[in-house]
Amino acid sequence: MKSVFICENSETVKNVYSENIVSLLEKTAGLDKNIYSKRDIIDSPYKFKDTEYIFSTWGMPKFSKEEISECFPLLKCVFYAAGTVQAFARPFLENNVKVFSAWAANAVPVAEYTSAQIILANKGFFKVIGETSSGNYEQARKEFFYYRGNYGAKVGIIGAGMIGKLVIKFLKSHKLNISVFDPFLDDSEADSLKVKKCGLEEIFSDCRVISNHLADNENTKGMLDGKLFSKMLPYSVFINTGRGAQVVESDLINTLEARPDLTAVLDVTYPEPPVSASRLYSLENCILTPHIAGSSGDEVHRMAEYMAEEFSIYINGGKNRYEVTLKMLETMA
């Protein structure tokens, strides 16, 4: 058994894979502690002829089917300690190499961040903090009374994948009424989650806080447009921790300019960051953060731990939890 690290940025691997996990994989997976780039492999393919397992994270290079066959004839699995695998997974899967992703581990901090933002949004936090910080305390108090708090509040979740479901779980103790738009969510699962299935227009016209968690693919690009934003209730909040390309940014900006009562909390944009001339920077009712919802700091170690666990399950013949299939690539982020 032989395993290798492959990544274009060695520091990223060292950040994600803690010393304890590296030591564990050395013992259980025969891991070579060196970190190889694609150029290292293409220049010396003979060194990797006996590689059975690849461990990686952000910065995993893309290989063609031919390159995989030539360089890794014995390869069984790729363990990716990060989220989306769309950039590299398909050629491996088409070569019958299993791919595992730590998307579930990366979903945890995003869901934690999002649920916190939703709770704050229902309390009017994002609207009143601007007024208070500017010394307009009385105006902040007046605007605060437009917000009804969290008890019984209607919240819309767009996309009930791994992150969307975790957000719903985290919000359950707050006695919220949660509506969900997701064409792939069946009625029995909606009942189990205790949410109401509905269309996008109903989400935008009926919910005080709307949070986007759509999968990032061609079918979802530009799905959230001015027609929907124009339906938002007074003093409602749109939160995006999904992907910026799903929003028609010009439509959102126009709506925010016309409706200063609304607030957008954007952790993602398209492009990211926004261009220097973007009106998003000057909008008082737009809160921008630099893609901080995902795993950061020590949180990234959780992803390496998930992949070490998946490796252990695989070699012991157990049932893996986070395998990615070609079918899944059609709808997952």
Does 332 have pLDDT greater than 80?
no
Q: Rounded to whole angstroms, how far apart are CA atoms 230 and 323?
A: 40
Domains 3-101+297-329 and 107-288 share a fold: yes
Span 143-158, pLDDT tens digits: 898 999 999 999 999 9
Choice between 143 and 58, residue whose per-residue pLDDT is larger: 58
Neighbours of 108 (CB within 10 A): 19
* High-pLDDT (> 70) share of the chain, %: 100
Most distant pair of Cα atoms in the chain: their distance: 72
pTM of structure: 0.83
Q: What is the pLDDT of residues 190-222, one digit of tens each?
A: 999 999 999 999 999 999 999 999 988 888 999
CATH code, 3-101+297-329: 3.40.50.720
Q: Which residues of 118-156 are buried (b: 16+ CB within 10 A; e: fewer)?
A: bbbbbbbbbbbebbbeeeeeeebeebeeebeebeebbbb
Q: Does the pLDDT at position 227 exceed 90?
A: yes
Cα–Cα distance between 34 and 186 in angstroms, integer?
46
CB proximity list for 318: less than 8 A, separation 6 or greater: none
Tokens of 6: 């492959």
What residue segments make up the domains of the chain, in order of their start? 3-101+297-329, 107-288
CATH topology of domain 107-288: Rossmann fold (3.40.50)
Q: Percent of the chain having pLDDT more than 90?
A: 89
